[in-house]
Structure 1
Amino acid sequence: MWEFLKQLTDPNSIIEYGGLWLLLFVIFAETGLLVGFFLPGDNLILLAGILCKAKPDSLHVGYTELVTLMTSAAVLGNATGYWFGSKVGEKLYARKDGVIFKQKQIEITKTYYDKYGGNLTLVMARFLPIVRTFAPIIAGVIKIDFFKFMFFNIVGAIAWILSLTGIGYFLVQMFPQITDYMGYIFIALILLTALPILRIVLKKN
């Protein structure tokens, strides 16, 4: 079980052992399941873009197909999160902290809703760990209009998938040996995406 969880948090293992379908499931789960916040969405999408160009046999699809499938998984994930939030409602705020779920995760996401409003948060959240998992859930809790939610859900998914896969795909064209430095790239991306979250946590403390 522990080995399986380790593989789920390692972008290389996800693609090596699970291929395209596990890649799509992880993108769906990170945005659609309450426990999905620990999954490596950003790094996985970037890696998929790199491998699509550098090692096309690893995913067996072209760039356009890859982007379409990943965007669809991200949209469906958010829609599932919205549905869950609409069903659970205020019970989520009363839920006690557990090993995985923490009320602080809800508080961080709510800070973005209070500061930027629901529409902008749904787009911005795609690029922020933790927030991207809880943003659609809270949208369901506070009953944001579903059609409006779906519009910004789709816009955010397209922006998230296209930007990260595009960066990965074109980095290979500029630096063919980039696959030798994936560890450093993953660390840099984790730090960049975690900074806004750390800023909120430090402010609250």
Structure 2
Amino acid sequence: MGSAVSAAVVAGESLGGSLLDPKSLLATFGPIGVFVVVFAETGLLIGFFLPGDSLLFTAGVLAATGAGSAVHVSLPAVLVAAALGAVTGAQTGFLIGRRGGGALLARSGNRYLHEGIARGSVLLTRYGYGKAVVLARFVPVVRTVLNPLVGVAGMPAGQFARWQVLGGLLWTAGVTAAGYLLGASVPDVDTYLLPIIAVVVLLSLSPLLVEVVRSRRAKRERA
């Protein structure tokens, strides 16, 4: 019994590590892992912590490094999996919001989700439904909460579907293509994945940080 429990714990830790480490996730699950992570991050509130940007970028790099590398994935398969995950995930999040997601958002005690909701509300106020849905794709946490948020706000379903498909395709194809171009142009770039991923994460968080600084500055000015 003890050995079974230990094996379960090790397996759980391995799965958790795979979900948070893009290279490990791709080595273990391939394009299916891309679909699951992108779907969960964009469709389920519990997926806000998942590494969508770094996963897509890493997949692009590894797709360009050739079949002889330690981890190799097919670029077309990654693009299809990512696009399907982004589109179906966003639609799921929207339906959750439409069918009573307001209470779910209000009950959430996670401060990152609350900050994402605040940033999403700023996007909606500044750009309106359509542009906000597209721009949210490029901001971690915000892309998780905005879909149910606009569902609660009553955005027309047809309008949401058009904008979220556009945003999903731009995000998944753009980030993956950026990784692919880097992998194709820089020899042995996959050996420097950790620092590159760190830069990608910082860049993806920069819009959120800018909004936080603006919000605090505005509060000081009002005070």
TM superposition score normalised by structure 2: 0.83
The 8 Å contact of residues 20 and 59 in structure 1, kept in 2 or not, is answered as no
SS of aligned partner of 1:147 = helix
CA distance in 2, matches of 1:55, 1:173: 9
CA distance in 2, matches of 1:2, 1:180: 24
Q: Are 1:35 and 2:46 an aligned pair?
A: yes
User: Amino acid of the residue matched to residue 190 of structure 2?
Assistant: T
CA distance in 2, matches of 1:41, 1:89: 23
Provide the residue aligned with 2:190 in structure 1. 179
SS of aligned partner of 2:30 = helix
Alignment of 1:142-153 (within 5 A): 142-153=153-164
Gaps of at least 5 residues in structure 2 are 1-11, 217-223
The 8 Å contact of residues 45 and 165 in structure 1, kept in 2 or not, is answered as yes
The 8 Å contact of residues 31 and 78 in structure 1, kept in 2 or not, is answered as yes
The 8 Å contact of residues 46 and 167 in structure 1, kept in 2 or not, is answered as yes
Aligned identity (percent) is 31
CA distance in 1, matches of 2:73, 2:207: 35
Provide the residue aligned with 2:100 in structure 1. 88
The 8 Å contact of residues 81 and 136 in structure 1, kept in 2 or not, is answered as yes
Deviation at 1:135, TM superposition (A): 1.2
CA distance in 1, matches of 2:205, 2:131: 19
Provide the residue aligned with 1:119 in structure 2. 130
Count matched residues: 203
Structure number, greater radius of gyration? 2
User: Amino acid of the residue matched to residue 75 of structure 1?
Assistant: V
Provide the residue aligned with 1:198 in structure 2. 209
Select which of 136, 149, 153 maps to 1:138.
149
SS of aligned partner of 2:48 = helix
SS of aligned partner of 1:148 = helix
Structure 2 vs 1, CA of residues 76 and 7 (structure 1 numbering), >3 Å: closer, same or farther? same
Provide the residue aligned with 1:72 in structure 2. 84
CA RMSD of aligned residues (A): 2.0
Structure 2 vs 1, CA of residues 146 and 52 (structure 1 numbering), >3 Å: closer, same or farther? same
Select which of 21, 24, 37 maps to 1:13.
24
The 8 Å contact of residues 139 and 208 in structure 2, kept in 1 or not, is answered as yes
Deviation at 1:144, TM superposition (A): 0.7
Gaps of at least 5 residues in structure 1 are none
CA distance in 1, matches of 2:141, 2:160: 19
TM superposition score normalised by structure 1: 0.90
Deviations, residues 13-56 of structure 1 (Å, cap 9, x unaligned): 21122222122100110100001110000010011111112144
User: Amino acid of the residue matched to residue 211 of structure 2?
Assistant: I
Provide the residue aligned with 1:104 in structure 2. 115
Structure 2 vs 1, CA of residues 65 and 11 (structure 1 numbering), >3 Å: closer, same or farther? closer
CA distance in 2, matches of 1:197, 1:180: 29
User: Amino acid of the residue matched to residue 32 of structure 2?
Assistant: W
